[in-house]
């Protein structure tokens, strides 16, 4: 009988190899996608996804607004599926993000968008999926089969795919992410430290994740991983939103998991960290060495990573934490109760 979490553990460890494969094998496809987008010259970019893939889309939204200086938004699929909306989408790029590419509501959203004049792009881990067939453009993230219910390698592969497209659109170098896989190998090697850290939260019933900027999608994804594997209440807040009311629920019994990476988002978190200290919060930090040293516990990220690429590394300690916390609580993160790998929403 396989040990609990064996699949999730293996897929977390595969991420550097997945990224190397993307960097080596997807250049032509990324170039072709970026060239078509540039020809189309969108005035706005919309993202549509569910769960983990929605968080990847949120990362894409930050890239759109910061790197390309274009407005961006997150699509609510039900407006087109349940309500039958048909918005005018000329000169809009809609990007559907999905590990399986099989969710009917995402497929329908891209079909409607294409009918309404949008350029459509599917980013999936299944090149022959219905989502890929519905879109004009498709990019395979090359993550390989993902068997654990909790998505890990497909999530970071989606982030890297989005980064590579947007970096090409601004004229960036294909080598801009070349160092990333080696840095991830170093981070993954600290798994024993995260296993020990998981004991700190073994009996927690709820917790909060928080970050700002490019790291906010990490906070959202970390909360989801902890909820679906460890069955505890995890709420994700932008650091700014946390200070606008939810801070009142924070006390020493509600752990706060914060991402404080290098860059503008990490700098914006300094006020949040100060306020958390004032209310006596137990803070675990994933981020730069100074922020981790000032927290109650944490994991330091490799130095010198751009704020655009940092989210690919930030999520790894949280994936490991979700894995080890679930096992410590007697569960199996490979098969969370009541969940399936592909959720077919309408």
In the predicted structure, residue 322 carries a pLDDT above the cut 80: yes
pTM for this one? 0.95
In the predicted structure, residue 336 carries a pLDDT above the cut 80: no
In the predicted structure, residue 147 carries a pLDDT above the cut 80: yes
Q: What is the extent of the structural domain holding 216?
A: 180-328
Note whether residue 196 is domain-resident: yes
pLDDT per residue as tens digits for the range 174-216: 899 999 999 999 999 999 999 999 999 999 999 999 999 999 9
Residues 13 and 157 in one domain: yes
Residues 120 and 231 in one domain: no
At residue 227, the pLDDT reads 95
Residues 61 and 191 in one domain: no
Residues 140 and 184 in one domain: no
Q: Centre a 10 Å sphere on the Cβ of residue 342 and count the other Cβ atoms it contains.
A: 12
Note whether residue 238 is domain-resident: yes
Residues 228 and 310 in one domain: yes
Domain edge (last residue) among 169, 192, 213: 169
In the predicted structure, residue 337 carries a pLDDT above the cut 90: no
Going by their DSSP bridges, the two strands 119-124 and 206-211 should be labelled as unpaired
Going by their DSSP bridges, the two strands 297-300 and 283-287 should be labelled as parallel
- Residue 173 makes CB contacts below 8 A (sequence gap 6+) with 167
Residues 23 and 144 in one domain: yes
Percent of the chain beyond pLDDT 70?
97
In the 8-state DSSP scheme, what is residue 279?
T
Residues 154 and 200 in one domain: no
At residue 2, the pLDDT reads 72
In the 8-state DSSP scheme, what is residue 246?
G
Note whether residue 200 is domain-resident: yes
Note whether residue 344 is domain-resident: no
At residue 339, the pLDDT reads 54
CATH of the domain at 243: 3.40.50.10490
In the 8-state DSSP scheme, what is residue 207?
E
Note whether residue 18 is domain-resident: yes
Stretch (H or E) spanning 131:
helix 130-134
Q: Which residues pair with 46 in a beta bridge?
A: 73, 94
pLDDT per residue as tens digits for the range 228-278: 999 999 999 999 999 988 998 898 889 999 999 999 999 999 999 999 999
* Three state DSSP letters for 27-60: HHHHHHHHHHHHHHCCCEEEEECCCHHHHHHHHH
| Structure confidence at residue 342 as a pLDDT band (50, 70, 90) | low
Residues 160 and 278 in one domain: no
Of the given ranges (5-9, 91-95, 152-156, 333-337), which has the lowest mean pLDDT?
333-337
Residues 151 and 259 in one domain: no
Higher per-residue confidence, 4 vs 73: 73
Considering its fold, how many domains does the chain have in total? 2
- Residue 112 CA to residue 275 CA, distance in Å, equals 45
């Amino acid at each position: 009988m396989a040990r609990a979490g064996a699949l999730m553990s293996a897929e977390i460890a595969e991420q550097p190899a997945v990224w190397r494969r993307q960097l080596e094998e997807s250049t032509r496809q990324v170039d072709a996608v970026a060239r078509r987008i540039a020809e189309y010259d969108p005035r706005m970019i919309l993202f549509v996804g569910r769960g983990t893939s929605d968080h990847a889309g949120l990362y894409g939204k930050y890239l759109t607004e910061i790197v390309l200086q274009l407005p961006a938004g997150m699509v609510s699929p039900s407006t087109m599926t349940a309500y039958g909306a048909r918005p005018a989408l000329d000169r809009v790029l809609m990007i559907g993000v999905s590990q399986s590419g099989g969710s009917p509501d995402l497929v329908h959203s891209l079909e409607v968008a294409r009918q309404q004049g949008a350029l459509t792009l599917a980013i999936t881990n299944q090149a022959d999926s219905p989502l890929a067939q519905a879109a004009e453009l498709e990019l395979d993230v090359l993550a390989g089969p993902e068997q654990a219910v909790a998505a890990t390698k497909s999530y970071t592969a989606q982030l890297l795919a989005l980064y590579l497209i947007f970096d090409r659109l601004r004229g960036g170098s294909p080598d801009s992410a070349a160092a990333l896989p080696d840095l991830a190998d170093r981070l993954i090697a600290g798994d024993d430290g995260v296993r020990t850290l998981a004991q700190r939260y073994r009996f927690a019933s709820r917790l909060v994740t928080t970050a700002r900027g490019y790291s906010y999608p990490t906070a959202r994804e970390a909360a989801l991983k902890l909820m679906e594997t460890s069955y505890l209440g995890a709420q994700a807040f932008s650091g700014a939103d946390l200070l606008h009311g939810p801070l009142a629920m924070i006390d020493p019994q509600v752990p706060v998991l914060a991402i404080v990476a290098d860059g503008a988002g990490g700098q914006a978190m300094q006020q949040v960290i100060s306020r958390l200290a004032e209310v006596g919060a137990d803070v675990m930090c994933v981020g730069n060495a100074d922020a981790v040293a000032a927290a109650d516990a944490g994991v330091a990220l490799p130095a010198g990573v751009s704020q655009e690429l940092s989210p690919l590394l930030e999520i790894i300690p949280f994936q490991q934490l979700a894995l080890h916390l679930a096992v410590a609580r007697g569960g199996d993160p490979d098969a969370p109760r009541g969940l399936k790998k592909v959720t077919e929403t309408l």
